[in-house]
Chains A and B, each alone.
Chain A
Amino acid sequence: MNSGIDLEMSFTQGVQNLGLSHELAHLLWIPLPMLLVLVSAVIGVLVTVWLERKISAAAQQRIGPEYAGALGILQPMADGLKLLVKEDIIPARADNVLFTVGPILVLVPVILSWLIVPFGQNLLISNVGIGIFLWIALSSIQPIGLLMSGYSSNNKYSLLGGLRAAAQSISYEIPLALAVLAIVMMSNSLSTVDIVEQQNTAGFLSWNIWRQPVGFIIFWICALAECERLPFDLPEAEEELVAGYQTEYAGMKFALFYLAGYINLVLSALLVSVLYLGGWGFPISIDWFSSLIGLSIDNPLVQIFAASLGIVMTILKAYLLVFLAILLRWTTPRVRIDQLLDLGWKFLLPISLVNLLVTASLKLAFPMTFGG
């Protein structure tokens, strides 16, 4: 089972060879993936922000950022730097403690959820048994942070935005979890690695999107709602609520919200690619490919090639979905709050329940194709 590159093993062995105990080596290893996740998440956000600005510009026949670096590629960095050195204002009658804790509570669960995103067989931070369930649990903490910042701003727009965001997160969490449940039922495991492995038996034909087309659509809609992307961005609807729960925020605290929103978007796209689009899997099976060249699958060269191809494929799929999200942003008008709740409770919830039921019965009927 444990094919592929195991970086942790090689790292701990290397450190142990230097004369340190096994436990200490393990302890030294722990912060490395965390750092890697933080860096990769932030870089993912920078790329997404740049893409969002450029693609939005293209969709509106503008040029977009162009002076900061070639093609404006440094523009997100400039934005971040600006927010970093901007004055951090706490409104006079706001609740100091809650006002500061709110954005942190929004950002931390999102970053923690990156624990379970696999880029390859062993290229993830921790293959915890509860896998995808951890993400669902962590994303339910976010509304508390939103409510906190909305309440503590002492501003009616903020409070309304926070309440809306919380209501939206709660109502779209349920169909999201049900769509994930159907996938979990097919792969008999909560672990993201197992879910991807189960999909990569026959190239792109074995991806979950063919077996779960309805689940894919439900998941994508709910993911957009959880990220507060445009058809569902009414917590920060600028025409009615100024900026929702972010209204009173400035400087680094605002940047935390901004970062959380985009990390969430990238994370959702990554998870869609993991759950429905075969994760790190190349559309054509690697085994077949290596046998074509005449190299064995255990060849280190092939292994390295497969690992890097896996990372590229995961990111490529995720960014295709990000592109779709940006395109949707400039296509769909914002829904009203009653339409949003109608869609969540009266459309997505029954459909996802039916989807779950159908998946269960198909699994009983065709255990071969739907995971026995």
Chain B
Amino acid sequence: MLGFLEKVTDYTKEAFDAAKYLIEGLSVTFDHMRRRPVTVQYPYEKLIPSERYRGRIHYEFDKCIACEVCVRVCPINLPVVDWVMNKETKKKELRNYSIDFGACIFCGNCVEYCPTNCLSMTEEYELAAFDRHSLNYDNVALGRLPTSVTSDPSVRPLKELAYLPKGVMDPHELPANKKRAGKLPSQIIKEIQKENTQDELNNNSEDIFPNKINSNN
């Protein structure tokens, strides 16, 4: 008898708990209703890609030495480097270079390892095509520069959340002359340099000789 009663109380408790959690969930959903939409009206508004954004790869034909490092570091050996050996000059002569963006995963290894910096990442991400073969870019297509979102007159560029000032959630109502939260990378570099020089100065005042040796080196 007691066991049965216990079961019943447990069951009721569970039912009440379920109701409680349901109401909690409903309140969360209800709370979301008063938040502003985060919608970016895409073809008319676009987010500015962040620095170090890994978009379509840009390639400079003239810089390339056809070393094929990009092919070796690529996870699927994607770049096609078409070269011939010039017997007279004993140098590689590059004829064609292509990357198939239908298969590329934009990992950026090729850009990282390119010895002559002829590969670089752009901020272009609109790669939709009617035919997947048209995603296979040759060296001419790879050499084109993307149109920047900020320079396109038909597009309203919007800043991403990380680039908004502190407390601002909506890029549409960005207050003028307000800097983003945190420091810029260039500022951080400057600060580090300053600290270093400060340290050096401190070291100089304490002990002159070792520093002199250092500077000689």
Q: B-contacting residues of A (Cβ < 8 Å)? A: 55, 57-63, 327-328, 330-332, 347
Selected contact of A330 from candidates B15, B29, B35, CB within 8 Å: B29
Q: Within the assembled complex, what's the spacing in Å between the Cα atoms of A57 and B39?
A: 10
Q: Within the assembled complex, what's the spacing in Å between the Cα atoms of A347 and B22?
A: 16
Q: Within the assembled complex, what's the spacing in Å between the Cα atoms of A332 and B32?
A: 15
Instruction: Kindly list chain B residues whose C-beta atoms are within 8 Å of the C-beta of A330.
Output: 29
Residue B4 lies at the interface, judged by CB distance under 8 Å to chain A: no
Beta-carbon contacts under 8 Å, B1-52 to A? 15, 22, 25-26, 28-30, 32-33, 35-39
Query: Considering the complex of A and B, which 5 residue pairs feature the smallest CB-CB distances, nearest first?
Result: A331-B25, A331-B29, A58-B33, A63-B39, A63-B37
The smallest C-beta distance from B38 to any residue of chain A, in angstroms, reads 5
Bin the interface of chain B by size: 10 to 19
Instruction: Kindly list chain B residues whose C-beta atoms are within 8 Å of the C-beta of A61.
Output: 32, 35-39
Instruction: Kindly list chain A residues whose C-beta atoms are within 8 Å of the C-beta of B37.
Output: 57-58, 61-63
Instruction: Kindly list chain A residues whose C-beta atoms are within 8 Å of the C-beta of B32.
Output: 58-61
Selected contact of A331 from candidates B15, B26, B36, CB within 8 Å: B26
Residue of B nearest to A58 (CB): B33
A55, A63, A331 — which one has the most chain B CB atoms within 10 A of its CB?
A331
Chain B contact residues, majority secondary structure: helix
Docked-complex contact B25 and A332, CB < 8 angstroms: yes
Q: Within the assembled complex, what's the spacing in Å between the Cα atoms of A58 and B36?
A: 8
Residue of A nearest to B15 (CB): A347
Docked-complex contact B33 and A55, CB < 8 angstroms: yes
Instruction: Kindly list chain B residues whose C-beta atoms are within 8 Å of the C-beta of A58.
Output: 32-33, 37
Docked-complex contact A59 and B25, CB < 8 angstroms: no
Q: Within the assembled complex, what's the spacing in Å between the Cα atoms of A330 and B25?
A: 9
The smallest C-beta distance from B166 to any residue of chain A, in angstroms, reads 20
Instruction: Kindly list chain A residues whose C-beta atoms are within 8 Å of the C-beta of B22.
Output: 331-332
5 contacts between A and B (CB under 8 A): A55-B33, A59-B32, A62-B38, A330-B29, A332-B25
Docked-complex contact A328 and B26, CB < 8 angstroms: yes
Instruction: Kindly list chain B residues whose C-beta atoms are within 8 Å of the C-beta of A63.
Output: 37, 39
Docked-complex contact B15 and A327, CB < 8 angstroms: no
Q: A328-B26, A331-B25 are in contact. Are A59 and B39 (CB under 8 A)?
A: no
The smallest C-beta distance from A182 to any residue of chain B, in angstroms, reads 19
Q: Within the assembled complex, what's the spacing in Å between the Cα atoms of A327 and B35?
A: 15
Residues 56-69 of B, flagged 1 when their CB comes within 8 A of A and 0 if not, give 00000000000000
Instruction: Kindly list chain A residues whose C-beta atoms are within 8 Å of the C-beta of B29.
Output: 59, 327, 330-331
Instruction: Kindly list chain B residues whose C-beta atoms are within 8 Å of the C-beta of A331.
Output: 22, 25-26, 28-29
The smallest C-beta distance from A175 to any residue of chain B, in angstroms, reads 14
The smallest C-beta distance from B161 to any residue of chain A, in angstroms, reads 12
Q: Within the assembled complex, what's the spacing in Å between the Cα atoms of A58 and B33?
A: 5
Instruction: Kindly list chain A residues whose C-beta atoms are within 8 Å of the C-beta of B15.
Output: 347
Docked-complex contact B33 and A62, CB < 8 angstroms: no
Instruction: Kindly list chain B residues whose C-beta atoms are within 8 Å of the C-beta of A60.
Output: 32
Residue of B nearest to A346 (CB): B11
Instruction: Kindly list chain A residues whose C-beta atoms are within 8 Å of the C-beta of B36.
Output: 61
The smallest C-beta distance from B190 to any residue of chain A, in angstroms, reads 37
Residue of B nearest to A64 (CB): B37
The smallest C-beta distance from B15 to any residue of chain A, in angstroms, reads 7
Docked-complex contact A327 and B38, CB < 8 angstroms: no
Residues 125-157 of B, flagged 1 when their CB comes within 8 A of A and 0 if not, give 000000000000000000000000000000000
Residue of A nearest to B35 (CB): A61
Q: Within the assembled complex, what's the spacing in Å between the Cα atoms of A328 and B33?
A: 13
Q: Within the assembled complex, what's the spacing in Å between the Cα atoms of A330 and B37?
A: 16
Instruction: Kindly list chain B residues whose C-beta atoms are within 8 Å of the C-beta of A327.
Output: 26, 29-30
Q: Using A59-B33, A331-B22 as known contacts, list a sample of 11 further A-B pairs with CB atoms less than 8 Å apart, ordered by residue number in A.
A: A55-B33, A58-B37, A60-B32, A61-B35, A61-B36, A62-B37, A62-B38, A330-B29, A331-B25, A332-B25, A347-B15
The smallest C-beta distance from A109 to any residue of chain B, in angstroms, reads 30
Q: Within the assembled complex, what's the spacing in Å between the Cα atoms of A328 and B38?
A: 22
Q: Within the assembled complex, what's the spacing in Å between the Cα atoms of A332 and B22?
A: 8
Instruction: Kindly list chain B residues whose C-beta atoms are within 8 Å of the C-beta of A62.
Output: 37-39
Q: Within the assembled complex, what's the spacing in Å between the Cα atoms of A336 and B73?
A: 47
